[in-house]
Amino acid sequence: MMIALILASIALVALLLVVRLTRGRRLNLNVLENPTDHLRAVDVDAFRNLVDPGEEEFLRTNLPPAEFRRIQRERLRAAVDYVSCAAQNAAILLRLADAGRRSPDPATAEAAEKLVNNALRLRLYALHAIPRLYLGMILPGARISPAGIAERYEQMTRQVVLLGCLQYPTRGVSAAL
């Protein structure tokens, strides 16, 4: 009975997480008018530091176990915030790139298609990374390393810059990322 209750709780948390991450699909139309108002800055280097296994090992060896667990939970909470921001930014860029795919210019349409693909990959990766980060909070000794999200985010940012270079109206979006 207890196992069933635990599994049901985990399933409910997973469902709520999926709903929260996919919420970006319901963004209002103001996003296309001024996307920079809706984007949140993501410090990729700080995120990499938070999920760096070497940094985790350094803290593990230099801190008492109780303090390490407390600090590691804080670090993983911050990493969840970064991943959530990146996923939200990806949702906004999906809307922007979707409009760009209908451009009559083939280069712009191709760049927009690549941005759509990268943003979708980032959102899917966030769907996998956030539960792993929460698991790391529950089990501070578990090896959790979702550093790949930083590379995906930077790749998506490069696609936004490319769209801006192709005269597509990205309106300062790359600077906001």
Which domain range does residue 161 map to? 36-176
* C-alpha span between 76 and 90 (Å, rounded): 21
Classify residue 12: in a domain, yes or no: no
Classify residue 2: in a domain, yes or no: no
pLDDT tens for residues 5-22?
A: 788 888 888 777 667 655
Read off the amino acid at residue 21: L
- As a 3-state breakdown, the chain gives helix, strand, coil percent values, each rounded to 5, of 80, 0, 20
Torsion angle of C-alpha atoms 98, 103, 105, 109, degrees rounded to 10: 10
Those residues with Cβ within 8 angstroms of residue 62's Cβ, 6 or more apart along the chain or in another chain: none
Domain count, the chain: 1
Classify residue 43: in a domain, yes or no: yes
Q: Please tell me the pTM assigned to this model.
A: 0.69
pLDDT tens for residues 125-157?
A: 888 888 888 888 887 767 666 656 777 777 777
Classify residue 109: in a domain, yes or no: yes
